[in-house]
Every structure is written in structure tokens, then in C-alpha cells.
Amino acid sequence: MKQNATKRRRRIRKRWIALICCLLLVVPVVSYVRALLYPGSATFAVRTVEWLRDHGGGKIIDTIETWKYTHQQPPSTGVPADVTTAAPPARPSNLPTVQLLPGTAALPHEGAWTVARRTASGKPLLWATWFRPDPAHLPVSVGAAVIPQSGTRLVLMPGTREPVVGMSSANGYSVPAADRSKLIATFNAGFKMKDSHGGWWTTGNAAVPLVDGRASVVIHRDGTAQVGVWGQNLRMSADVVAVRQNLDPVIVDGKIVDGLTANANGRWGSVRSQFQYTWRSGLGTDAHGNLTYVAGNGLTLASLANAMHQAGIQQGMELDIHATMVSFDIEQPGRGGVISKRLLQSMNSPADRYLVDDQRDFFYVVTR
């Protein structure tokens, strides 16, 4: 009798333990399912990784990414995959001369600007080129796009999760329908706000407080933009309509800033993340005030900064990293809708990424 009673108590105890374990799993399972189903475009892998980061797994993810990307250095010799073979037109005087790697024989059309997007009358709206930024890894190439600001307007848009989860947006979370007939380009913004060490502000929503000393994209009422350091060469005024901040600047007054190869105190993200060989993007302005976007695969923070410097950027900042986040699409509106073409064919985000609601904030460019 005693033996049967003991067995019965053990069975009851095991059932209670199993029930408690199931109840403890309910909350994270529900949270994870909500993350998978949350509105806005994002892959299963991205949703999973970001859910893990948001629930205490950030250090584990960083460790895995650091191991992966620091152990897959690009080869030292070879030819880049992303190259332009079309003969370039004459370069206008207001575009920078791309500084190619010294002591390395230039490849055909390397660093030569071509018209990537023009008006119906033939006026250039967007110029593009490619070149190599890393003498130790010659197959690595970057794409660069120059957006003359005289006839264009830059717009900052929120996503469904960034800068703030569930933030209301009068114009939605993709390129508004009213602007699609004038669309020139769309491209990624910066890190998630909790990793950017900075703020996000528009006249419609001061989502995250701005921080002095942070690299910033500032958009004015006429749609022109400046890149610089908030509280130093950029400040709030009645003419400002949007500000997007991300980490510390990488180029100031035409010079690459010191300390990129050390990343002390995580000025440019987690201490090790900026040594990873991965997709990276950056944005800046050149001596003529043109807006210049640079991106490529197999880059460290230092080689990205070198590429931005080669492209003539005078004030510049890093945007985002990794293949799922780096995206620049050249947009050509037509009767059947918008046709998207990647700046680099090896970019793997969907061609219509920001033509549908996305979870991350982004920029788009239209004619004005």
C-alpha cells in the first residue's frame, strides 16, 4: 500500500512539473509566434534572430556572427564579380573623381561614372560606378551611387518595427503611392535604434531623442540633405524636417577618422562587429553637396570607410550591415508599375523591398 501511494505521489509530482514547464513555455512561444507574424516584410531568419536579440540572446548572436564573418575573409587575388562593362558617358564636372587603389592596375571602366537613372528628357538623376577598396582582397568591390541634390528630394520613412514598434505613420511603411511616379531610388537606413546609439526624428514623430556627437542624416524642407555630426556642424532649425542618427562618423572634413581599426568603446557598434567581412553600407556628401551611397560585400568598417573616401565623400557615416539589411534599388516608374534594379547584382534583398511595408526604416529619393 505504501509503495503504491509513493508511486502515485511521484506520478502526480511529475505531472505538476510537466504542467509548470508547459506554462513557462507558453509566454516565449506566444511572443515568438507574434514576432513571426508581425506586419512588415522580413525573412523568417531575420525575425528569428531579432526575436532572440530582443529576449536576451544578443551576446550569443554577436558571438556567432563574429566567428562566422571574421573567419571568411575574401581571397586576396581575383576579379570582382560586380563590374560594369558599358562604356561610360562624359563625366560632368560636379562629380568626384574616384581614387583607385595605388599600385594596382585599373580594370576596364573601374571608377567611371555612368548614368543609372535619367529623366524622360535625358537629364541625369542618378550616377553609379564600381571600384575596389581593399588592396589585400582584390576581388572585393563596392558600388557607389551619386544623387545630385539640385533636382531630387530625400525622404525618411519608418518601418513597422523601427524606429519604434507599432509607431503610427500617416504615409504607411513603404514608398507612398503618391510618390511612386517620381521615384528614383530606395535604400536602407541605419542600425536598429537600440544599437544605433542615436535618435530618429521627423516633424510628424519625435520617435527617439537625438544625441549630440552622433553621425546624422539631416533632411531639409526642400528635400536636400546633409550628413554630419549632430551638435557640431548640424543642429535643429525650423528648416529641418527629419533626422536619422547612427553611431559615430567615419569621415569628417574629407578625412577618415582615427580609431576605426580598434573600435574602442564600441563607437561603431559592438567591439568585434566592425572587424567582420560582410555586407556594409555608408552614406555621405561630397564637395559639391551631392549625396553619395556606397555599399559592398566582404567589407570591414575600415575598408568601407576607405571606399567612401575613394568616392569623394567629405562627411560620411556607416548605415547598416549584413546581406539582409544592405539594399539600394534604382527605381524606374512606368505604366505597369515601378521597375527596380539593384545597384549591385549581388545584393540579395527583394527588388521591391520598400515598395511593400517593411519592418525597418529606410530612405527614398524622388524628383522635385
282 falls within a domain? yes
Average pLDDT over residues 223-249: 97
Least confident of 54-68, 92-106, 155-169, 283-297: 54-68
d(Cα 164, Cα 158) in Å, to the nearest integer?
Answer: 8
Is residue 131 domain-shared with residue 246, that is, in the same domain?
A: yes
What is the torsion angle, in degrees rounded to the nearest 10, for the CA atoms of residue 294, residue 300, residue 306 and residue 312? 10
d(Cα 321, Cα 347) in Å, to the nearest integer?
Answer: 12
pLDDT in tens, 302-350: 999 999 999 999 999 999 999 999 999 999 998 889 999 999 999 988 8
Quick check: 197 pLDDT over 90?
yes
pLDDT reported for residue 70: 66
Q: What pLDDT band is residue 62 in, cutting at 50, 70 and 90? A: low
Q: How many domains does the chain have?
A: 2
Q: What pLDDT band is residue 159 in, cutting at 50, 70 and 90? A: very high
Mean pLDDT of the chain: 88
Tell which of 52, 70, 88 closes a domain.
70
Q: Which long-range contacts (CB under 8 A, 24 or more apart) does 300-304 make?
A: 300/274, 300/275, 300/276, 301/250, 301/260, 301/263, 301/268, 301/269, 301/274, 301/275, 302/260, 302/261, 302/274, 303/133, 303/134, 303/137, 303/140, 304/133, 304/142, 304/250, 304/280
Is residue 62 domain-shared with residue 194, that is, in the same domain?
A: no
Q: And the C-alpha cell for 310? A: 575613394
Least confident of 3-17, 21-35, 172-186: 21-35
pLDDT reported for residue 254: 97
pLDDT reported for residue 175: 98
Tell which of 43, 70, 97 closes a domain.
70
CA 167 from chain center: how many Å? 20
Are the C-beta atoms of residues 163 and 361 closer than 8 Å to each other?
yes
The model carries a pTM of 0.88
Average pLDDT over residues 229-244: 97
Is residue 66 domain-shared with residue 177, that is, in the same domain?
A: no
Average pLDDT over residues 200-219: 96
Quick check: 100 pLDDT over 90?
yes
Is residue 51 domain-shared with residue 131, that is, in the same domain?
A: no
